Structure 1
Amino acid sequence: MSIAQNISEIKSKIDINKVKLVAVTKNHSVPAMVEAIAAGITAVGENRVQEMMAKHPEIQAAGKLVEWHLIGHLQTNKVRQAVPLADLIHSVDSEHLAVEIDKTAGKCNKRQDILLQVNVADEDSKFGVELGQALPLAKQISQLAHIRLCGLMTIAPYADDPETLRPVFRELHTLFGELKALNLANTDIKWLSMGMTNDYQVAVEEGANLVRIGTGIFGSRKY
């Protein structure tokens, strides 16, 4: 199927009025991105700052308006490049990183929207704050004037049967409710980013309102 057909198929399985679809464009070409945007994609997600920097001016030159989400791990030495371009950073997992983002955002006269990445399944291979440390970290981050905490993100373990991931998504949804109830300063808790190509339908059923889909839109990555 074409990119447009893939997008239509995904939209038929979720309530697009309630769930934001982010097209994950890592290692996919600018023409493919333009095709996706023409088919209704309003947000793209990049894993690497360098790739975002390379593609951003090309998409702008093509006359396409789209949100840019940084969904991959962000190193502190890349913050200066990321903040001017990213509408939403999904992968904040430490106070140190948040402080660097706050400093850079201040210099850019910007309030940077972020999500806390939570390692719900406690996988050694994945980044993210531990489940029990997420709310204390949120309280620390809420004291930073140039950051707006907008919710939570997780990357679930890969599973042949996505049904087995329901407890992971459910735990983050519970934490999302607890975070929202704190009513912290400098926050607008509205995004629960969980679910990818293999498991997005289960994630949405468990409360996700932002899903990150690459392969399901563009096909396999071309490395």
Structure 2
Amino acid sequence: MLVDNLEKINQEIQLACQKAARSDNDVTMIAVTKSVEKDTAKKLAELGIENMAENRVDKLLEKKMALEDFPSIKWHLIGNLQRRKVKSIINEIDYFHALDSFKLAEEIQKRSVKQISCFVEVNITGEESKHGLKSEEVIDFIHQLASFDKIKIIGLMTMAPLDASEQVLRDVFSKLKKLQSAINNLHLSYAPCTDLSMGMSNDFPIAIEEGATFVRIGTAIFRGA
């Protein structure tokens, strides 16, 4: 079932890229393994999946240890990160998708021994239930990070509202794309901001059509498995 699900997802990614006149090589699918156990994550690794994500520090560390025989896996932390947990996780990941405060950036700078590829989390819709900076705060925030050599702002991340209409989804994703392009045009060496982490199992084709370069997919991979 995993093989069938992955094939279907890859077909949907290719179709969305065709619609947007993009190459499917521009889109990275991240397998979000938070709902499955280590054995299932290992099956994904055996199938060649090389990008995996967790939203909790303890679960990522647990899965990474279980999959130590797969050193090519890139690990993504996609959930909110408390400053007190930075020390235990920051040097174990390749990508962090939820940078949303200067104090958190300071802690990452202090604890990291390598440069971390980070996405600034943006709350496009302003929903109180969501983390992230307001759109109008993002550029000033990125300017504040100029001296942090352990942080590289490779892009922006957002989460669209659940069960939103296609038009609402396109509006959210296109707004993030415009903001990403504006930051990219600043030509900041520490913040190239070339990427967009947006789109999940229920909306990733639309996100790709609107410019996503990383899609975070969990449910669609493990459905029926």
TM-score when normalising by structure 1: 0.92
Structure 2 equivalent of residue 187 of structure 1: 191
Structure 2 equivalent of residue 19 of structure 1: 27
Task: Give runs of aligned pairs for residues 37-52 of structure 1, distance below 5 A.
Answer: 37-52=45-60
Residue 163 of structure 1 deviates from its aligned partner by 4.0
After superposing on structure 2, the runs of 4+ consecutive aligned residues of structure 1 that deviate more than 6 Å are none
**Residues 220 and 142 from structure 1, CA distance in 2 versus in 1: closer, same or farther, beyond 3 angstroms?**
farther
**Residues 22 and 206 from structure 1, CA distance in 2 versus in 1: closer, same or farther, beyond 3 angstroms?**
same
Tell whether the 8 Å contact from 1:150 to 1:189 is kept in structure 2 after alignment: yes
1:132 counterpart = 2:136? yes
- Of 103, 128, 152, 1:96 maps to 103
Structure 1 equivalent of residue 36 of structure 2: 28
Sequence identity, in percent? Answer: 35
Q: Structure 1: how far apart are the matches of 2:5 and 2:48?
A: 11
AA matched with 2:119: L
1:174 counterpart = 2:178? yes
AA matched with 1:114: C
Q: CA deviation digits over 1:181-205, x for unaligned, max 9?
A: 1111322322200000000000000
Residue 38 of structure 1 deviates from its aligned partner by 2.4
Q: Structure 2: how far apart are the matches of 1:170 and 1:20?
A: 19
Tell whether the 8 Å contact from 1:102 to 1:112 is kept in structure 2 after alignment: no
Q: Structure 2: how far apart are the matches of 1:220 and 1:129?
A: 36
Residue 98 of structure 1 deviates from its aligned partner by 0.6
Tell whether the 8 Å contact from 2:142 to 2:191 is kept in structure 1 after alignment: no
Tell whether the 8 Å contact from 1:13 to 1:201 is kept in structure 2 after alignment: yes
Q: Structure 1: how far apart are the matches of 2:161 and 2:211?
A: 17
Structure 2: gaps of 5 or more residues: 15-23
Relative to structure 2, which stretch is displaced further, 179-188 or 166-175?
179-188
Tell whether the 8 Å contact from 1:163 to 1:202 is kept in structure 2 after alignment: no
Q: Structure 2: how far apart are the matches of 1:157 and 1:63?
A: 34
1:70 counterpart = 2:77? yes
Q: Structure 2: how far apart are the matches of 1:6 and 1:207?
A: 23
Residue 113 of structure 1 deviates from its aligned partner by 1.3
AA matched with 1:44: M
Q: Structure 2: how far apart are the matches of 1:124 and 1:63?
A: 39
Aligned length: 216
Taking only aligned residues, the RMSD between alpha carbons, in angstroms, comes to 1.6
